[in-house]
Structure 1
Amino acid sequence: MPSEVRLSDGAVLWTDSSWLSGAPGAVFLHGGPGMWDYLEPLATPLADLVSTHRYDQRGCGRSSASTDYRMSRFVADLDELRAHLGHERWVVVGHSFGAALGLAYTNEHPDRVLGLVYLNGLGLDWTVHKAAYRERVRQRLSTQQVARREELAARERTWDEEVEWRALCWAPDFVDPAMAAVDAGTELPLNRLCNAVMNEEDPPVRYEQVRAPVLLVHGAADPRPVDGVKALANAMPTAELVVLDGAAHQPWREQPEAVTALLREFVARVAR
């Protein structure tokens, strides 16, 4: 059920919860930074195991505007949300930027996390792998598509052009590029300031305090190299990594049964 949660600094988060009486909670962290919640397909299959909570991060989607886009603020928001919802500990499920946020939260508050699901994050040493990522993206677009994307990025866009630009940006993230058009038409604004500030901050990846079980899942066809995720998995004694063939940056869209099975097994094991 959708509701709003007011934070200590006055920001208001849009949230959507499905409660299961007496069960632990699980929170779902969308990517971006600067996007909105799109993780209902992950939450719904777990609703008989845990109470599920989705939200739009501060300044994003249906949440209120903000001027504070530091990672530490996003971590604080997440713990304020946990306290508001009444969970002593919960499962954290993060995708892309949400995976980075989930890891930062788990490292900052290890006693409040039952388990972490790290979906298609960047892992360690992203600066080493960034060039390979950009080359893979270029290889998945035609010369004409690259030129059109750059043209649209350089100027103000009509709504139709905005949808076209989003589809061109996101097409490399799918095995079937046409799937990007489904997301591109979502009538919510991208928070480009949030994206720019968070990317400029580029906080270090910290994992030393993580004690909870961690499930890392990565699509083999994600243009973001899996090498950094493997390095992160190897650095955490409680981690396991699963690489899914036939899946890219949103593996639940292309391998839904496999992803659902992985998450259900993990959540059933840790949410006690």
Structure 2
Amino acid sequence: MQFSTSDQVPLWTATTGTATPAAAPVIILHGGPGTWDDHARLAGMVDDLTVVHRFDQRGCGRSGASDDLSMARWAQDIDELRAFWGHDKIVVIGHSFGATLAVTYAALYPEHVAAVVYLDGVGIGDWRTGEAAVRDQRMTPEQVARLENLGGRPRSRAEEIEFRVLAWFPDNADPEHAMEWALEDASVDLPINWTVNRTLMSEINSWPDSRKSDDVAAIPAPITFIHGEGDPRPHTAVQALAEHAQQPAFHLIPDAGHSPWREQPAAVREILRAVVLKTP
């Protein structure tokens, strides 16, 4: 179904599960920025316990375009959706960029947050050096050169898929299935909104680490940090951020990359279910 925001931007949404007094409702925030929701598998890990909502962020995927591109507006969209769905408090699960958005939302609307899950975000400090080193290890020089070539010009549909595969496969820890999983994600027939990506990343990159740690410290609800040990983004940067939370829990998932529910589903499922069941 579609929901129209207060400034008349239509948002694509999907809902599974059923609301229950035994567990707080869940909203899942996808990564990017500029991509789309692809978290049906993640939702399925907990939607037998509670209702789970997903949506494409404004300007992304199946949602409508918008000129208002800011983290505060993105957070307001979440709260408008929460109110529309009739929930007082929600569990916010954010993956990658969505983890930053989850913290931003929870810091701005703490009275409506039962718990936060920070799933393979970037943390604080110099995480980019570590990420680049891992990507260099997982890519051949030919792949690096091809990615740079594709990134610098218009692309056909086939080239777009190739570009996404080359950009995304190093996120997976399992070399045997890394290309297969990247191709699955890359083949989705939706455009990446690079204007959204550049605008929101510019805003986030302008924040000092103290802004990010202060946001985490301001959240009274429990924050569960989950990170794949094989994610190119180093887990130490996420652990450094977790130290600022009032009620932190940190889970490092061995043999898993940037999407640990794909490589170690049982481990992630157990953690998510524990979070949801603690928040009626």
The verdict on a shared fold, with TM-score over 0.5 as the criterion, is yes
Superposed CA offset, 1:101-132 (max 9, x none): 0011111111111111110001122xx22122
The answer to whether the 8 A contact 2:228-2:257 is kept is: yes
Which position in structure 2 is the counterpart of 1:184?
Answer: 186
Tell me the percent identity: 40
Equivalent position of 2:233 in the other structure: 224
Amino acid at match of 1:109: Y
Count of aligned pairs between the two proteins: 267
CA contact under 8 A between 1:163 and 1:181: conserved in structure 2?
Answer: yes
- The alpha carbon displacement at 1:47 in A equals 1.4
Partner of 1:170: 168
Gaps of 5+ in 2: none
Partner secondary structure for residue 235 of structure 1:
coil
8 Å CA contact 2:172–2:259 kept in 1: the answer is yes
Instruction: Give runs of ≥4 in structure 1 deviating > 3 Å.
Output: 21-24
Equivalent pair of 1:4/1:12 in contact (CA under 8 Å): yes
Instruction: For 1:146, give the aligned amino acid.
Output: V
Conservation of the 8 A alpha-carbon contact between 1:108 and 1:209: no
Shift of 1:266: 1.4
The amino acid that maps onto 2:62 is R
Name which of 1, 6, 14 aligns with 1:16: 14
Cα distance in 1 for partners of 2:43, 2:114 equals 16
| Deviation, structure 1 residue 18 | 2.0
Gaps of 5+ in 1: none
Query: Which amino acid in structure 2 is aligned with residue 11 of structure 1?
Result: V
Q: What do residues 174-196 of structure 1 show as CA deviations (whole Å, max 9, x unaligned)?
A: 02321211101110110111000
How big is each residue's C-alpha offset from its partner over 1:46-83, in whole Å with a ceiling of 9 and x where there is no partner?
Answer: 11211110000000000001112111110111101111
Amino acid at match of 1:136: V
Q: Is the 8 A contact 1:251 1:259 kept in 2?
A: yes
Identify if the C-alpha distance between structure 1 residues 60 and 227 changes in structure 2 by more than 3 Å, giving closer, same or farther: same
Distance in 2 of aligned mates of 1:230 and 1:45: 24
| Corresponding residue of 1:133 | 131
Match of 1:257 in 2: 266
Map 1:64-213 onto structure 2 (within 5 A).
64-125=64-125, 128-175=126-173, 176=175, 177-178=178-179, 179-202=181-204, 203=207, 204-205=211-212, 206-213=215-222
Confirm whether residue 242 of structure 1 aligns to residue 248 of structure 2. Answer: no
TM-score by length of structure 1 reads: 0.95
Structure 1 residue 17, shift from structure 2 partner: 1.0
| Aligned CA distance change for structure 1 residues 30 and 21 (closer, same or farther; 3 Å) | closer
* Counterpart position of 2:51: 51
